[in-house]
Structure 1
Amino acid sequence: MKRILSIAALALLTASPAFAGKVVVAANSSQGTLDKAGVQAIFLGRTAQVGGQPAVVVFQKGPVRAPFESGVVGRAGAQLASHWSRLVFTGRAKAPEDLADDAAVKAKVASTPGAIGYISDGAVDASVKVLFDF
C-alpha cells in the first residue's frame, strides 16, 4: 500500500510541469509600464485598451500559466474561463487568444499593437517590452 501511494505521488509530481522561474507581462515595444492593478484589469477584461490601442489579450497554455493566474490575476482555471465566457457572451469583451508557449506569445505580442501577454523572463528579448514582472 505504501509503495502504491509513493508511485501515485511521484506520478502526480511528474505529470504537472513545474515552473520555478520568473514571469513577466510583455507587450509591443510602443507600450508603457503597468502596475499589478493595471495588469489585472486587462487580463480580467475590465480595461479594453492598452497604450491607446484596443487590447488583444493573450494567454499561454505553457507552464507559466498557473503562476501567472494565481499570482497576478487571482483567478485560475475554470473560474477564469467562466469569467471570460460571461464577458464574451454579454459582448463586453473579445475572447482572449490562447497560445502554446513563450515563442508564440512573444511573436504575437511583438507584431500586434495593443497585444499583451505573459512569458517567462528568460524569453524576453528586444522584440517585446516588459510592462510588469513578478
Structure 2
Amino acid sequence: MKLFKRFPIIIALVLLAQSFAFMAQAQEKIVVVTNFNNDVQVLDKKGLIDLFMGKYSAFPNGKEATPIDVELDSELKSQFYKSLVGLPLARVNAYWSRLKFSGRVKPPAVEQTLDDIKQRLEQDESALAYVYESTVTDSMKVVYRFD
C-alpha cells in the first residue's frame, strides 16, 4: 500500500529525469561530418547552405556530394536547419515541396536514424551529414561546427 502512495513521486522523478536528458540533448552542439577519407577538410556555412538547399551537388573540389537528412530525429533536424538557414523545419519542408514539384533539384538523401547515418558515412565518401558532436566516431571527419 505504501508503494501506491509513493507512485506519484516516482512518476514525477522519472519525468524530471527525462526532461533533463532532453534538455541536455537539445543544448548539445551539432557538427557537419563526412567520411574520414573524403578530401574535403572544411566547409563554410555558405557552402553548406548551397549543398543542403539544393543549389550545388558537389563539394568545392568538384567531387560529388551527397547531403543526408535524418528522418526520425526531428529535434536534430530542426536544430540543424534553424542554425543553417534560420528557418523552422516546416518552412524548409515547404521549400523542398516546391522544388521537388519543379523537378529541377533533388533534396538531401534520407536516413532514418543516427546509426543509419554513421553506417552510410563509413561506406560513402560523398556522404555529408549533421550529427550531435558527442556521436562523432573515428570514421567521420568534422568539416563544420556551428558556433
Compute the TM-score of the two structures, normalised by the length of structure 2. 0.71
Residue equivalent to 2:30: 23
Tell me: CA distance 1:129–1:49, structure 2 relative to 1, closer, same or farther (3 Å): same
Q: Is the 8 A contact 2:69 2:129 kept in 1?
A: yes
1:36 aligns with 2:45: yes
Q: Is the 8 A contact 2:77 2:89 kept in 1?
A: no
Q: Is the 8 A contact 1:24 1:132 kept in 2?
A: yes
Instruction: Select which of 75, 79, 85 maps to 1:67.
Output: 79
SS at 1:49's partner residue?
coil
- The letter of the residue matching 1:55 is A
SS at 2:83's partner residue?
helix
Cα distance in 2 for residues equivalent to 1:52 and 1:127 = 22
Q: Is the 8 A contact 2:69 2:77 kept in 1?
A: yes
- The letter of the residue matching 2:111 is L
RMSD: 2.2
The CA deviation at 1:108 is 1.3
Q: What is the identity percentage for the equivalent residue pairs of Structure 1 and Structure 2?
A: 28
The CA deviation at 1:92 is 2.5
The CA deviation at 1:131 is 0.7
Q: Is the 8 A contact 1:40 1:72 kept in 2?
A: yes
Q: Which has the larger radius of gyration?
A: 2
Cα distance in 1 for residues equivalent to 2:29 and 2:58 = 25
Q: Deviations over 1:3-54 (max 9, x none)?
A: xxxxxxx9xxx6xx54111100011221221011111111111111124332
Q: Is the 8 A contact 1:106 1:119 kept in 2?
A: no
Compute the TM-score of the two structures, normalised by the length of structure 1. 0.77
Residue equivalent to 2:127: 115
- The letter of the residue matching 1:108 is R
Unaligned 5+ runs, structure 1: 1-9
The CA deviation at 1:124 is 0.7
Cα distance in 2 for residues equivalent to 1:88 and 1:57 = 16
SS at 1:46's partner residue?
coil
Greater helix proportion: 2
Aligned length: 121
